[in-house]
C-alpha cells in the first residue's frame, strides 16, 4: 500500500508541471488577447502570430500597477506595462490600429477575462480567441477564460498558445527554484480560483 502511495505521489509530481502547459495551436482566430505579466516572451509570440496571419486584431487589458496613479499625481510619470507592450508590438510590425487597449486596471487573469468577455459581448463574429501567455500560465488562463465566456452564454472557442520564447516546459520542475515557484504559485492560484473567485463569474 505504501509503495502505491509513493508511486502515485511521484507520478503526480512528475506531471504537475507539464499539465500546466496547454497548447491548442496556433490556429486562426478572430482576435488575439495577450495577457499581462511577463512582457518580452508574450510580446514576441504575439507579434509572430500576428505577422503569420493567425489573427488580425490584438487586445490588451490595462494592468493594475499599484501606486502608479500616485506617481502620476506627483509628476513622476513612467510608462505602464500595457503601454510598453503596445509600443513594443508596434516596433515589431503590428499596426497600431489593430491593437485595442481595454481600460480596467486588471489585477488578475480573472479580471482580464471578465473585461475581454464584456468587450466582446454582442460581437458574434468573434467566435475564436487566441490567448497568448507564458507556458506555465496557459492551463489556468484557459480555464478562467473558458468559464468566463461560458457563464455568459458565449460560445467563443479559447485557443491557448504558450510563448516559445519562455523556456518553461514543466519537465523536471522540481530541480530549480524558479520552476518550483512557478508550479506552486499556479496551483495555489488555481485553488483560489475554484474555491474563492469563480463565484464572481455568476455575479458579473
* Nearest Cα to Cα of residue 54 among 149, 156, 147, 131: 131
User: What was the pLDDT predicted at 203?
Assistant: 62
Instruction: Say which DSSP state 74 is in.
Output: T
User: What was the pLDDT predicted at 94?
Assistant: 98
Residue that is written with C-alpha cell 499539465 in the block: 19
- Those residues with Cβ within 8 angstroms of residue 140's Cβ, 6 or more apart along the chain or in another chain: 20, 109, 186, 189, 190, 193
17-21, 172-176, 192-196, 199-203: least confidently modelled range: 199-203
Mean pLDDT of 151-158: 92
* Nearest Cα to Cα of residue 133 among 14, 25, 30: 25
The number of domains in the chain is: 1
pLDDT higher than threshold 50 for residue 9: no
- The domain that holds 75 is classified in CATH as 3.40.50.620
Q: Is residue 54 part of a domain?
A: yes
Residues spanned by the domain of 109: 22-203
pLDDT higher than threshold 90 for residue 33: yes
Task: With cut-offs at 50, 70 and 90, classify the pLDDT of residue 163.
Answer: very high
pTM for the model stands at 0.91
How much of the chain exceeds pLDDT 90, in percent?
72
User: What was the pLDDT predicted at 72?
Assistant: 76
pLDDT digits (tens, 9 = 90+) for 48-103: 999 999 999 999 999 987 777 777 778 777 888 999 999 999 999 999 999 999 99
Q: Is residue 184 part of a domain?
A: yes
Amino acid at each position: 500500500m505504501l509503495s502505491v502511495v509513493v508511486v502515485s505521489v511521484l507520478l503526480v509530481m512528475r506531471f504537475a508541471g507539464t499539465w500546466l502547459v496547454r497548447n491548442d495551436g496556433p490556429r486562426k482566430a478572430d482576435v488575439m488577447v495577450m495577457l499581462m505579466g511577463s512582457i518580452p516572451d508574450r510580446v514576441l509570440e504575439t507579434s509572430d502570430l500576428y505577422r503569420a496571419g493567425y489573427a488580425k486584431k490584438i487586445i490588451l487589458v490595462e494592468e493594475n500597477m499599484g501606486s502608479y496613479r500616485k506617481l502620476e499625481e506627483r509628476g513622476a510619470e513612467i510608462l505602464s506595462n500595457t503601454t510598453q507592450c503596445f509600443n513594443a508590438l508596434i516596433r515589431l510590425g503590428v499596426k497600431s490600429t489593430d491593437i485595442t487597449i481595454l481600460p480596467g486596471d486588471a489585477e488578475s487573469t480573472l479580471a482580464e477575462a471578465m473585461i475581454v468577455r464584456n468587450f466582446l459581448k454582442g460581437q458574434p463574429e468573434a467566435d475564436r480567441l487566441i490567448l497568448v501567455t507564458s507556458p506555465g500560465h496557459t492551463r489556468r488562463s484557459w480555464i478562467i477564460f473558458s468559464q468566463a465566456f461560458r457563464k455568459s452564454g458565449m460560445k467563443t472557442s479559447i485557443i491557448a498558445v504558450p510563448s516559445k520564447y519562455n523556456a518553461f516546459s514543466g519537465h523536471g520542475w522540481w530541480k530549480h527554484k524558479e520552476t518550483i515557484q512557478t508550479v506552486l504559485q499556479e496551483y495555489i492560484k488555481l485553488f483560489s480560483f475554484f474555491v474563492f473567485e469563480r463565484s464572481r463569474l455568476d455575479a458579473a
